[in-house]
Structure 1
Amino acid sequence: MALTTRDLAPADAAALAGLMRRIDADHPTGFCLGEPEARELMSGAESRFEGAFDGEHLVAFTAVMPGSPQSTGQRFILFGDVDPPRLREGIGTLMLSRALEAARAVHRQVAPDLSATYAATALAGRADQAGLLTSAGFVPTGHSVMMVADLARPVAVPEAPRGLVASSFDPAAAEELRLAHNTAFGDHPDRTPMGPDFWELFMVRAAHNRHHLAAVARDGAGRVAGYVFAHEYTVPQSGGSGPELHVPYVGTLPHHRRRGVATWLLTRVLGLAREAGYATASLSVDTANPTGALGVYERAGFRHLYQQDSYELAEPLLP
């Protein structure tokens, strides 16, 4: 039977979650969603999911996530994979080509006067994934590491840096935190500024958020100095049995760096997670992070699980 393709809707969440579980059982992806999370993400206006079907059976998917247009251009994140028994049938090539065309169509519509960058990842050591991306014109740009920490032992939390106090994530301050996040990550090599709509969906309203376990540092004037956010996914991101707290973002505002803010907040969150009954915590870090985050995480007890290699396809503005 010939494959068919179509956009995926929230009604396809169970099929997509099942496919992601089959893929993750074969190889880690760092993007394995349960049905509720898939439904929430597909309900957002910004992200676009497409599936390849053999009859009624979903055998591959792609996700296109546009970043907010910036003066330097617009950046897109592309995810996707194929059901392991259907690898080496050309399905990945088909779906990547379609995802790129979909992303280019969005770019032409919302930011035709800007350059575009399309970003994707491949599991380190998977020559098929790397070959798929390079054959489409992507070039390697860096690496990220999935890390996990065992929370069986008590977590020692250092004293707060002078003049700072910590609190949980307050949804009423969501926009302030979004702007602080974009500032904190402004000098990162793969920064993708968060737009208001996606931030509201992914970081505020989504069921995976654990706002009471997050930590936000503020100075004496009430300004954000740093933060550690907290999520919990149906499928533990490390591939373990859980329960697992996932740390999606750790950020320190530039003028508060090298004061121990990240270590203080991270250990605070890990301690709260342990008290709440979590067995492990996980996070992903870019090895080229300019703030030295990799060392912070290692000192906090995180160990390496696997590496993802980053790839980009840059398309400058045509004259």
Structure 2
Amino acid sequence: MRDVDTLSLTWRALTLDDAPALARLWAAAEAADDTGENYDADDVAEELGAPLLDLARDTIGVFGPDGEFVAWGGLRGGPAQISDVHRVWADGTVLPAARGRGIGRELLGRQLARARELHLERHPQAPGQFCVAGYDKVESRTALFRAAGFEPVRWWYDMHRDLTAPLPELPPMPAGLRLEPYAPERDEAVRLAHGEAFAGHWGSTPPDRERWGHWYTGAQAFRPEHSLLVLAGDEVVGYLLTYYYTADHEATGVREAWVGQIGVRPAWRRRGLGVQLLGSALSVFRDAGYGRVGLNVDTDNSTGALGLYQRLGFEVARPSITWATALG
């Protein structure tokens, strides 16, 4: 098909009022792409209200004559503090019926131009990368990234475990340590433990209080009652944070517990605490009525997380790739 006549479309920045219509676009894309990600209007509003997201400069909506979304794009310019590379992340999608007409290519080009601006504004002294993610099965997205000169740089798995299957028997907790439910009064200690546990992991930067409060324990999907901590006295040495997404449940009919973060501080590793956290969480989830548990893992994770999840019965559901091109 020939390139779309962009004069027939309206391109503008998003506002919070666009959340319901954007949720409809994402639902239409998910029906075609089957990525396992479902959002309702409240979820979309939470995404659009993210810290450091400048809606006027970092989002693009593409609208047809009827006022409905044809495509959208958004950028995350990264935190104020970085460890090595300044990564600007892009997301976006095109309505399935409008694909193949050059809209995605135009959208990605505009995002790349804005990403270069963000890099110069925030971290011009550091190497810069423009990163996008795509599930292997969405071939049109992969083809777009390849044609734009992106290279694959990281591989990930979404993994699932059926909670109707037998659960593992766990060894005793190491002496001097105990497992407890997440408690709000320990939230700051958990934030700091997470930053320490993921220091040096690819693409990870320690979340500040604002990001932590929006995306982690302040997220509307966070389930504190189904999250766990490992304590040494009053010190948080390990943690597992759980999320439940209503839109996923409504779309699939499966009540899934999503393990968003699991970590052990480096000084406390090699004591089986990852097994204790995740193995104990499986029992918590089943007792709470969940039918399945899911998580995402970097296949090159240096702590051996992939092997741990496989030993506990997790299976690969969907592979995905991070693609990147240099900024500068």
Using the size of structure 1 for normalisation, the TM-score is: 0.90
Alpha-carbon distance, 1:282 to partner: 0.9
**2:159 corresponds to:** 147
**1:182 corresponds to:** 195
| Amino acid in the other structure paired with 1:290 | S
Alpha-carbon distance, 1:210 to partner: 0.4
**2:183 corresponds to:** 170
**Secondary structure of the residue that 1:129 maps to in structure 2?**
helix
Alpha-carbon distance, 1:146 to partner: 0.9
- Identical-residue share of aligned pairs (%): 30
Would the alpha carbon gap of residues 42 and 268 (structure 1) be closer, same or farther in structure 2, given more than 3 Å must change? same
**2:25 corresponds to:** 19
> After the TM superposition, which residues 280-291 of structure 1 pair with which residues of structure 2 at under 5 Å, given as runs?
280-291=292-303
| Amino acid in the other structure paired with 1:194 | P
**2:73 corresponds to:** 62
| Amino acid in the other structure paired with 1:2 | S
Q: Which has the larger radius of gyration?
A: 2
Q: Which ranges of structure 2 fall in alignment gaps of 5 or more residues?
A: 1-6
Would the alpha carbon gap of residues 273 and 133 (structure 1) be closer, same or farther in structure 2, given more than 3 Å must change? same
Would the alpha carbon gap of residues 9 and 169 (structure 1) be closer, same or farther in structure 2, given more than 3 Å must change? farther
Q: Deviations over 1:223-243 (max 9, x none)?
A: 222211101112328973221
Would the alpha carbon gap of residues 37 and 113 (structure 1) be closer, same or farther in structure 2, given more than 3 Å must change? same
> How far apart, in 1, do the equivalents of 2:186 and 2:130 lie?
31
8 Å CA contact 1:23–1:81 kept in 2: the answer is yes
Does 2:242 correspond to 1:230? yes
Q: Deviations over 1:74-119 (max 9, x none)?
A: 2222222111111111111122122222333233223233332222
**Secondary structure of the residue that 1:96 maps to in structure 2?**
helix
Q: Decide which of 46, 50, 54 is 1:44's aligned counterpart.
A: 50
> How far apart, in 2, do the equivalents of 1:180 and 1:236 lie?
29
| Amino acid in the other structure paired with 1:241 | G
Alpha-carbon distance, 1:30 to partner: 5.3
Query: Which one is further off, 202-211 or 66-75?
Result: 66-75
Would the alpha carbon gap of residues 110 and 190 (structure 1) be closer, same or farther in structure 2, given more than 3 Å must change? closer
Alpha-carbon distance, 1:7 to partner: 2.2
8 Å CA contact 1:34–1:233 kept in 2: the answer is no
8 Å CA contact 1:34–1:235 kept in 2: the answer is yes
Would the alpha carbon gap of residues 71 and 304 (structure 1) be closer, same or farther in structure 2, given more than 3 Å must change? closer
> How far apart, in 1, do the equivalents of 2:325 and 2:191 lie?
27
> After the TM superposition, which residues 1-319 of structure 1 pair with which residues of structure 2 at under 5 Å, given as runs?
2-29=8-35, 31-47=37-53, 48-55=58-65, 56-68=67-79, 69-153=81-165, 155-156=167-168, 158=170, 159-220=172-233, 222-236=234-248, 240-315=252-327
| Amino acid in the other structure paired with 1:298 | Q
Alpha-carbon distance, 1:287 to partner: 0.8
Alpha-carbon distance, 1:172 to partner: 3.4
**Secondary structure of the residue that 1:205 maps to in structure 2?**
coil
Q: Which ranges of structure 1 fall in alignment gaps of 5 or more residues?
A: none
> How far apart, in 1, do the equivalents of 2:103 and 2:206 lie?
31
Q: Deviations over 1:277-313 (max 9, x none)?
A: 1111111111111111111112222111111012122
Q: Deviations over 1:238-274 (max 9, x none)?
A: 9732211111112121122222111111122221111
8 Å CA contact 2:36–2:248 kept in 1: the answer is no
| Amino acid in the other structure paired with 2:75 | V
